[in-house]
């Protein structure tokens, strides 16, 4: 009889979990050169999980040197696309075989509900790796029409060494969005996970080697901002891809310019608007979707629907539905499969979110939530919080909070809603709910956002769609065939035939 995977099951597995905290450089797990470590602590209860190698500049140098040697030797870059595909698919199969272990690592390390990591994050990571593996032998160059005396081609070539600096909110998934296309294109990679959630990235490095990715092609260096800074300044890194805050993104761009003008791809913040018109086809569904858009993953999503813009005539009905639905997002223990909402990543982030709640109380009407909770004897937990703001220019309606805090703003006309939606510095995502095709067409055309959903919010997981933002939400796109080209250089080859 199969074992029931309940709260007790995951607690028992967590007690037996073997955790790797060393860096992975040139095909081997190694300590930091100076022996320094830091503790990875679980936001579930504040307890330490593992001592992790605190990589410094010298460790980054070793990882980059290994990546450069492997690239120049052609042990990966010179493989046929078909051969790279086979290895990446084998790696994806190993991730699937170890999915429970990796999901548990992510839940312990980031405070995410085990239902999210087993049902969303790990399947999404595997899907991403499989998708780019399957894509890489199906892309082609060009043969431009030219003078008959000449023959020419336009081809894509791997850049070389790619550094990926990724955040803590989706530790493996955000990493896969970078390393999957970079590796598929033939590059060697140095991955720097967030110091707040490094464990799953360190674990998959060993599986990469087991799958057949040659030593030096995939390296993982854990550490704080010093390691990321060293990568952004390193003269032998050809490209750096980053997901995180605008402040750090600016520093990375500045460092890239100050060093070797390496390619820079940035996926930064958001303050996304979810617009509900009076002719919304289903108010109850819009309320459910709005709650999921901000309270899923504890609101720690760059594309979270953190601003809910509601046409005034339906405000009472929609807010009533929303308040009822939000009761289902009360935090619980992340290792309980029944839990929908887990812990904030750490107390520093919880303090930051709570400071915005205090600001919000001065600028808007608190409709529900706003209180810290004590669960699992400790940990970082917060009630889902909803404000009604009369002033669309309030700080909580314009600054990224990155927590389970929703700001409801009322409007009268579509033009007003679009103006409010576009007034922030960000342009990552947006949504519009309406039954009128003219309204939908106007909104989707005028909203300054990289992704616009209609009568839904972030409900489709499909790698065919590029993800990224307008304005200060960054540049370039993750996912889709467009992402593969970010990690290549275009080369024109012209041959005189006669």
pLDDT, tens only, 45-97: 999 999 999 999 999 999 999 999 999 999 999 999 999 999 999 999 999 99
Looking up tokens 């990469």 gives 208
Higher pLDDT, 1 or 315: 315
pLDDT, tens only, 339-392: 999 999 999 999 999 999 999 999 999 999 999 998 766 778 999 999 999 999
Give the bridge partners for 142, in sequence order.
Answer: 154
pLDDT at 461: 85
pLDDT at 25: 98
pLDDT, tens only, 299-325: 999 999 999 999 999 999 999 999 999
Of 106, 267, 321, 383, the active-site residue reads 267
With 90 as the cut, is the pLDDT of residue 19 above it? yes
Looking up tokens 């275009």 gives 490
pLDDT at 4: 84
With 70 as the cut, is the pLDDT of residue 1 above it? no
Q: What is the largest CA-CA distance in the chain?
A: 80
Higher pLDDT, 380 or 22: 22
The CA-based angle 262-264-269, given to 5 degrees, is: 160
Q: How far apart are CA 167 and CA 181, in angstroms?
A: 18
Q: Domains of the chain (ranges plus CATH)? A: 8-268 (3.40.605.10), 273-462 (3.40.309.10)
Q: How far apart are CA 29 and CA 208, in angstroms?
A: 12
pLDDT, tens only, 92-124: 999 999 999 999 999 999 999 999 999 999 999
pTM, two decimals, is: 0.96
> Could you tell me the CA-to-CA distances from 446 to 189, 290, 419, 422 in Å, in that order?
38, 21, 9, 9
Q: Is 302 a catalytic residue?
A: yes
Of 302, 321, 354, 472, the active-site residue reads 302
Q: Are strands 37-41 and 48-53 parallel, antiparallel or unpaired?
A: antiparallel
What mean pLDDT, rounded, does the chain reach? Answer: 96
pLDDT at 386: 98
């Amino acid at each position: 009889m199969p074992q029931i995977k309940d709260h007790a099951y995951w607690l028992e597995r967590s007690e037996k979990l073997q955790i790797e905290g060393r860096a992975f450089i040139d095909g081997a797990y190694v300590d930091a050169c100076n022996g320094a470590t830091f503790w990875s602590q679980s936001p579930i209860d504040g307890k330490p999980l593992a001592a992790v190698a605190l990589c410094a500049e010298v460790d980054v140098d070793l990882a980059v040197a290994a990546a450069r040697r492997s690239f120049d030797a052609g042990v990966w870059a010179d493989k046929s696309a078909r051969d790279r595909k086979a290895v990446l698919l084998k790696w994806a199969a190993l991730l699937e075989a170890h999915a429970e272990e990796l999901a548990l690592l992510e839940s312990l390390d980031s405070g995410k509900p085990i239902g999210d990591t087993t049902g969303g994050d790990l399947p999404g990571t595997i899907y991403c790796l499989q998708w780019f593996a399957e894509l890489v032998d199906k892309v082609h160059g060009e043969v431009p029409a030219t003078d008959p005396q000449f023959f020419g081609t336009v081809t894509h070539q791997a850049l070389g060494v790619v550094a990926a600096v990724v955040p803590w909110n989706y530790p493996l998934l955000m990493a896969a969005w970078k390393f999957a296309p970079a590796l598929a294109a033939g590059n060697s990679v140095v991955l720097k996970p967030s110091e707040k959630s490094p464990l799953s990235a360190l674990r998959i490095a060993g599986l990469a080697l087991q799958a057949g990715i040659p030593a030096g092609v995939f390296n993982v260096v854990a550490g704080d901002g010093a390691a990321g800074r060293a990568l952004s300044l390193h003269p032998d890194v050809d490209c750096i891809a980053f997901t995180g805050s605008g402040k750090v993104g600016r520093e990375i761009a500045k460092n890239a310019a100050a060093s070797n003008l390496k390619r820079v791809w940035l996926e930064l913040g958001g303050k996304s608007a979810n617009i509900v018109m009076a002719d919304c086809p289903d108010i109850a569904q819009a309320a459910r979707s709005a709650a999921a858009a901000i309270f899923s993953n504890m609101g720690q999503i760059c594309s979270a629907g953190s601003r809910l813009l509601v046409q005034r005539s339906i405000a009472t009905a929609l807010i009533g539905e929303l308040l009822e639905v939000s009761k289902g997002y009360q935090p619980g223990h992340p290792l309980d499969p029944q839990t929908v909402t887990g812990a904030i990543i750490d107390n520093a982030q919880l303090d930051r979110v709570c400071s915005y709640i205090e600001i919000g109380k001065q600028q808007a009407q608190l409709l529900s939530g706003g209180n810290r909770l004590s669960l699992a004897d400790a940990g970082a937990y917060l009630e889902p919080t909803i404000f009604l703001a009369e002033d669309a220019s309030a700080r909580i309606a314009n600054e990224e909070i990155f927590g389970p805090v929703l700001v409801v703003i009322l409007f009268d006309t579509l033009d007003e809603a679009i103006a409010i939606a576009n007034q922030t510095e960000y342009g990552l995502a947006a949504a519009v709910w309406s039954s009128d095709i003219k309204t939908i067409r106007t909104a989707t055309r005028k909203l300054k956002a990289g992704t616009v959903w209609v009568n839904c919010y972030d409900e489709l997981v499909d790698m065919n769609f590029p993800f990224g933002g307008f304005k200060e939400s960054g540049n370039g796109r993750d996912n889709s065939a467009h992402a593969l080209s970010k990690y290549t250089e275009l080369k024109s080859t012209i041959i005189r035939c006669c």
